[in-house]
Structures are given as C-alpha cells and as structure tokens.
Amino acid sequence: MFQPGHLVRGVDFSEDPLLQGRIYSYLDTQLNRHGGPNFEQLPINRPHVPVHNNNRDGAGQNYIHLNTAAYSPNTLNAGSPKQANQTVGNGFFTTPGRTVTGNLVRKTSPTFADVWSQTRLFYNSLIPVEQQFLINAIRFETAQLKSSIVKSNVLIQLNRVSHDIAVRVAAAIGMTAPDADPSFYNDNKTAFVSIFNTTLPTIAGFKIAVLASVSSPGSLTQAAELATAFAPSKVTVAVIAERLVPGVNATYSAADASTFDGVIVASGAESLFGTNATASTFFPAGRPAQILGDAYRWGKPVGVLGTASGVLAAVGVPRGDGVYVGDGHATGFVSGFEGGLGVFKFVGRFALDS
C-alpha cells in the first residue's frame, strides 16, 4: 500500500503542499476503502516493527488484544501503550530543527512551470535502444490522434524536451517538427535510469521455459536436469510440452514467451519445429516455434541442446550474442545461459532509426 505518511528512519516531510495534503488523503482513502484502520494489519502493509496502540474492532481485525484498557493514560495496564520517542520505546521520528522564512501564499514556485528539464534528463540518461523504445511508444500513441492541431501541439511539447524526439515522431505521423529551441535543452544525465546499460546484479527469481515433447522421454529427462542445474541460482524452470504429464509444468497451448526470461529447446523436441513439424490437436499450429521466435525477437537469451540445434535455422533465429548451443549436456551450457540472463536483453536485435 502506498502511503506517503509512512516514513523510514532519517526521512522527513518537505514543505511541498501537494505532499502534505497527500499525507492525510491517502490514509483517508484507505480508511474508507477498507472500513477501518485494520488494513495496516495485512501482511503486505504491516510494519516491520511491533505496534501497540488503542485501536480496537473494525473490519478486518486480526489481533486478539490482551490489554483491556484501550485508552491512555490508564492505571490498569501501567499506563501502556504510551507515545514512543527517541528515549523511550525506540521511537525514531523527531522533527529536525529548521527555519522557514517568507510569507505563506497560495502559489507555486516558478520552477513548477518547467515541465521539460526533468523529462530531458530522463531521455538523456537512456541508451540509444531505450530511447528508441520510448520514441516508438510515443509514435504509437500520437498516430492514433485524429486532430492535426493536437498532433502539432504534441510535437511542440516534445520539441521542448528534445528536437531529436520531435523529428523522429514527426516522421512517423507525416508532419514536420518545429525548429530546435536550445533555450529548453540541457545535457544533464542521471544514473540508475537505464536498465540495459549494465548487467543485472542477480538473476534470482527469473523464470525460463524448457521446450520439450512428451513423445521424447529424453527431452523430459534433460528438462529435469536443467531445472536441477539452474536451482542454485534460484532460477525457476518451467517445462513446456504438448500435454500435462509428470514433469511437465505447462502446455504449449497455455504458454507464451512474454512470461519467461529465457527459452531453451531440449534435445529431442525438434520434431515440433519447422515447416515439417508434426501437427497436433493439443496446441495451435506453430506455437513452439512462436515461443522461441518471440523470445529471440524480444531480446531474451535463447538456447538449444543436442539434436535440437537445427531448430534455430527452422525458426529463423541466427546464431550470435544471446543464442546458446549445447552438445546435449547441461554442464557448461547452464553457466553460459545464466550469463545471458544477467545481460537481460540483447539490444543488438532491436532496430534503430538511422
């Protein structure tokens, strides 16, 4: 639950009027939505430190309170609960001493009128392929506008962020971008905005698909071996096959590359791929090839083992970065594939504006 009134140690409220209003409005919303204050007892909302207060009853009450004196101060429970502070009760929030001068007025700082500088900083901090993704998204949305006036206004605003963005979006919607206006531009960048400019610190929690076939017991055995080999890295392996049998986690009819961080074709499953693939009533035609092809097109690591090596050509996946070919044994192949998961997306597969 997002609630700006929940503070961590060392953080205080700023004088932002919008924030200060939300300190109360978010809590009011939750109180109304859940019928009382006990939403904070839900595990996902529960604070890490123990809480003692006089709240009782209400919807969703999870606790059995042993203190019968639900008021403060009291004599029946030694005066507890009491307001905590930095000396007693491990309280931590003590407003720091600070001075604010000036008149309190109903107006915003002139800096609020600048809605372009931070946007440009974000754009500058992306690598080219991420900038391309952003531009493609703007193209998609802007192309659906019917009014040429609105399209022109969009280009004006984009041009104040970046002339490069305006020109590239204009090219997709058949319009001309305004002239560059350097008075709006800066070269500022910030770290940790780009996702693809570095390898991931961990692949724990990732999920990969191993494409197998119930007609090839060897492919199911190999899939199980891969699951064991990836387990130390806390990578989950989902075995995909035509139908559910022991050792299979999902069917091809229910699987999609979007739900996996990588895809591997097990040795023995090659009969399901290519133009001569065996037809099946268990899944749509071409689904195994679609899963592998989509994973490749979306920049994910893909791999083939043993006799499945010919699947790459059949699906139209060229060998290169992020495409792993093994001799049929999990050893060695797994460590390389884990490196690919750390790369996360192989950006060389994505088209860029020339």
pLDDT at 20: 85
pLDDT at 32: 86
pLDDT at 92: 61
**What is the spatial distance between Cα 246 and Cα 268, in angstroms, rounded to a whole number?**
17
- CATH H-level superfamily of 207-349: Class I glutamine amidotransferase (GATase) domain (3.40.50.880)
pLDDT at 91: 66
The answer on pLDDT for 2 being more than 80 is: no
Q: How many CB atoms lie within 10 A of CB 291?
A: 25
Q: What is the pLDDT of residues 283-334, one digit of tens each?
A: 999 999 999 999 999 999 999 999 999 999 999 999 999 999 998 777 789 9
For residue 208, what is the enclosing H or E element? strand 207-211
Helical axes 163-173 vs 128-142, angle rounded to 10°: 50
Structure tokens at 336: 């390389």
Residue range 115-124: mean pLDDT, rounded: 96
**What is the spatial distance between Cα 224 and Cα 239, in angstroms, rounded to a whole number?**
8
Contact residues for 69 (Cβ-Cβ < 8 A; gap 6+): 75, 76, 77
CATH 3.60.20.10 fits 117-184, yes or no: no
Residue for token pair 């387990």: 231
Q: Would you call 274 helix, strand, or coil by DSSP?
A: coil
DSSP 85: -
pLDDT at 332: 82
State the pTM of this model: 0.73
Domain positions in the chain are 1-96, 117-184, 207-349
Q: What is the pLDDT of residues 74-115, one digit of tens each?
A: 988 888 888 877 777 666 666 667 787 888 888 888 888 999
Of all residues in the chain, the percent with pLDDT exceeding 70 is: 97
pLDDT band per the 50, 70, 90 thresholds, residue 133: very high
**What is the spatial distance between Cα 278 and Cα 168, in angstroms, rounded to a whole number?**
45
Biggest CA–CA distance in the chain, Å, is 84
pLDDT at 103: 86
The strand ranges marked E within 181-301 are 207-211, 236-241, 250-251, 262-265
**What is the spatial distance between Cα 62 and Cα 51, in angstroms, rounded to a whole number?**
13
CB 295 within 8 A of CB 302: yes
